[in-house]
Structure 1
Amino acid sequence: MRLIATALVLTLAAAGLAAAGPAAAAAAGAPIDCPVNMASVDTDGHYRAIRVSGSTGRAPSVTDYGAVTGLTSIRSLATGSLDADVSTPEESYRETTHLGTGTNVIFQLVARADATGSRATAQNLASRWGGFRRTVLASSLMPHQYLYGLHDNGSLYRYRVTYGDGSRPTLASAGHLPGFGTVRDITLIGRTSQYDALLANTTTGRLILVKIPVTTTMTATTTTIRSRTWQGFDHLAVGSCTDPAGGVVTTLIGTNSSAGAAYAYRLGFLRDATTPIEGLGQLAGTWHYPTLATVFEATSHPRGA
């Protein structure tokens, strides 16, 4: 990652933007076009909402919801869905819902902030869910909702998620594919009515795009975006928005929890190895998060692939 930081400083200097000196440049950081919302359940059992915006030099905003009531164990936290209403002050709220896995269970976690305070609760949905180390929920706006689970056996599993009365989800198996044993982390990068797109990095250094059609039989195409240097991240998160010209902007954050460091990138629309990726440098703050999941608004989804 030193190469990325060095390249950034050289670019700023060439553009005449580093005249204030290294300390000032580091404090200001590089601009982040699209904010990234994330969440984590830390080693203390607390649920924390994390938001990166503005620039790499600005520390992320972190909201602690306290210890998660009812959570017995956690191994993965899937993509969060944020529902918010701030139009009426006395009724305003923010509520994020996740699925996740523990040592042998799948649970639903709800984190809510309103006039009565902030809290997070979890409810076990089913047992016999051991072995899943990463989960991604592809939801919002599309009629299909799938949970993708990366298993220790090297397979990627897909489950159809449906919600009944009381918003308690049920999950039904919808296929699985082998060949994902080297994947470190995987996150949602795009959704259409035809496919879900997942972004992953591998222990061999590749950054890959996995497109999964929303067909009855589960299939996938894997495209290498970069062939090396991406093995250091144990978590990936993305933020997706629209620029003034109507184009899609995607911010990618990669974190190394053991080192407590995170780096930001600006992505073009993911297609293949020609996709532009701009390194924005190291993010301010300390990033020791054992679990980390992207959070999207309930009425939106990423469109980066």
Structure 2
Amino acid sequence: MRKLHTILTMVAAAAGMVAAATTTATAATTAAASPAAGCALNLGSVTAGGDQTFQRVTTTPSAGTRSVVPNLYSDGAVRMNASFVNEPTAAGSSRSGRVVIGDTMYQHWIELDKSGKVTESQPARIGGGWSKFVDHETSTFNDDPTHPRTYEYALRSDGVLFRWVVGDTGAWKAYGSAPGFASVKSMTLISKAAAYDTFLANTRGGALYTIRIPVNTAMKPVVTKVRAATWQGFETLVAGGCGNYGTVVVGIDKETKSAYLYTFGHADGVKTSITGHGKVPGTFGDPNYFRFAPPVKSDWLFGE
């Protein structure tokens, strides 16, 4: 697979694109009413050398074999990843998601054979204006299987959170923005519902919050404190569903190249139950981490 030295084209983006969690944040956890111990997360990353990795992390905690797609991108090129949909195919598997390379966002489709070798790679340019953004995520809610609603969220470095509607044809339309998130260090999607999306976010000061974003053009997020301190050590939070009970969360401390795993009950402010499962075996020092999600029709997040 050749590196993406020259990268391609698709639709124009919407106008105006526009701690210590110390590595042992278990001090902020409780054991009460925790989700079932069998929860797992398919953790993805892009290495400094441009490889894409896939690893299943469970609440033992344990980490499965790390599969690697080598040299998918140029060295150090990828700045940000949203979640990638991963699904089996007759020939092997298919992956698709959004990546930011330099100032530009791309939709990237990848086909793998049963041995994990790339048989097709199609990056399509969405648009520019992304150099000032520090985080982004895609939320596709499957309330209508024929026309699921898809939003793209992105946090700019000045603390303004933006949202776009992504249409069936790939066209983007601005759908609100909200200031006030400059202290956010990392945010991860934990709920998708007909009326709202909810993110879990940690701050540089160590607090942990939920950010519920109602589905309306006003975009007035509801911010609720979950914990007051000890979460600042994580540069990245990655979350996935844990049945219909809550959420499994991996917190990654890039300074120590360590990852810690937690399960959350339904988010309910400071009453939220959080169970720490300890340090995940292995080394976690890659620049970018994200979730490998199942196909949209079966990707349900019930964190709040």
CA contact (8 A) 1:70 1:122 kept: no
Equivalent position to 1:35, from 40, 50, 58: 40
Superposition TM-score, scaled by structure 2 size: 0.81
1:109-258 aligned at under 5 Å gives the runs 109-115=108-114, 117-119=116-118, 121-142=122-143, 143-164=148-169, 169-242=170-243, 247-258=244-255
Superposition TM-score, scaled by structure 1 size: 0.81
Residue 8 of structure 2 corresponds to which residue in structure 1?
none
Paired with 2:245 and 2:263, the residues of 1 have a C-alpha distance of 11
For the residue of structure 2 that corresponds to 1:38, the secondary structure is strand
For the residue of structure 2 that corresponds to 1:139, the secondary structure is strand
1:248-287 aligned at under 5 Å gives the runs 248-287=245-284
Matched, 1:62 2:66: yes
Deviation of residue 148 (structure 1)? Answer: 0.6
Higher mean Cα deviation, 256-265 or 139-148?
A: 139-148
Higher mean Cα deviation, 124-133 or 202-211?
A: 124-133
Deviation of residue 139 (structure 1)? Answer: 1.2
CA contact (8 A) 1:48 1:63 kept: yes
Give the direction of change, closer, same or farther, for the CA distance of 1:139–1:2 in structure 2 (3 Å limit).
Answer: closer
Give the direction of change, closer, same or farther, for the CA distance of 1:71–1:227 in structure 2 (3 Å limit).
Answer: same
Paired with 1:40 and 1:289, the residues of 2 have a C-alpha distance of 7
Unaligned 5+ segments in structure 1 are 12-30, 86-90
The residue type equivalent to 1:188 in the other structure is L
Specify which structure has the higher proportion of helix. 1
For the residue of structure 1 that corresponds to 2:303, the secondary structure is coil
Identity of aligned residues (%): 26
Deviation of residue 180 (structure 1)? Answer: 0.5
Unaligned 5+ segments in structure 2 are 1-21
Paired with 1:71 and 1:112, the residues of 2 have a C-alpha distance of 21
Equivalenced residues, count: 270
Give the direction of change, closer, same or farther, for the CA distance of 1:249–1:129 in structure 2 (3 Å limit).
Answer: closer
Higher mean Cα deviation, 128-137 or 108-117?
A: 108-117
The residue type equivalent to 2:250 in the other structure is I
Residue 94 of structure 1 corresponds to which residue in structure 2?
93
For the residue of structure 2 that corresponds to 1:285, the secondary structure is coil
Equivalent position to 2:77, from 64, 73, 84: 73
Residue 294 of structure 2 corresponds to which residue in structure 1?
297
Paired with 2:63 and 2:237, the residues of 1 have a C-alpha distance of 18
Paired with 2:249 and 2:39, the residues of 1 have a C-alpha distance of 9
Paired with 1:257 and 1:51, the residues of 2 have a C-alpha distance of 19
1:11-26 aligned at under 5 Å gives the runs none
Give the structure with higher Rg (CA). Answer: 1
For the residue of structure 2 that corresponds to 1:67, the secondary structure is coil
Give the direction of change, closer, same or farther, for the CA distance of 1:2–1:187 in structure 2 (3 Å limit).
Answer: closer
Paired with 1:215 and 1:7, the residues of 2 have a C-alpha distance of 33
CA contact (8 A) 1:79 1:135 kept: no
The residue type equivalent to 1:265 in the other structure is Y
Deviation digits for residues 21-40 of structure 1 (CA, Å, limit 9, x no counterpart): xxxxxxxxxx9421101211
Paired with 1:195 and 1:155, the residues of 2 have a C-alpha distance of 19
Residue 23 of structure 1 corresponds to which residue in structure 2?
none
Give the direction of change, closer, same or farther, for the CA distance of 1:3–1:66 in structure 2 (3 Å limit).
Answer: closer
Paired with 1:102 and 1:170, the residues of 2 have a C-alpha distance of 20
The residue type equivalent to 1:132 in the other structure is F
Deviation of residue 92 (structure 1)? Answer: 3.9
Higher mean Cα deviation, 92-101 or 63-72?
A: 63-72
Residue 19 of structure 1 corresponds to which residue in structure 2?
none
Deviation digits for residues 228-260 of structure 1 (CA, Å, limit 9, x no counterpart): 000110111122132xxxx42421110012211
CA contact (8 A) 1:77 1:101 kept: yes
Structure number with higher relative contact order (C-alpha < 8 Å, ≥ 6 residues apart): 2
Paired with 1:213 and 1:257, the residues of 2 have a C-alpha distance of 32
Give the direction of change, closer, same or farther, for the CA distance of 1:219–1:71 in structure 2 (3 Å limit).
Answer: farther
Paired with 1:116 and 1:139, the residues of 2 have a C-alpha distance of 29
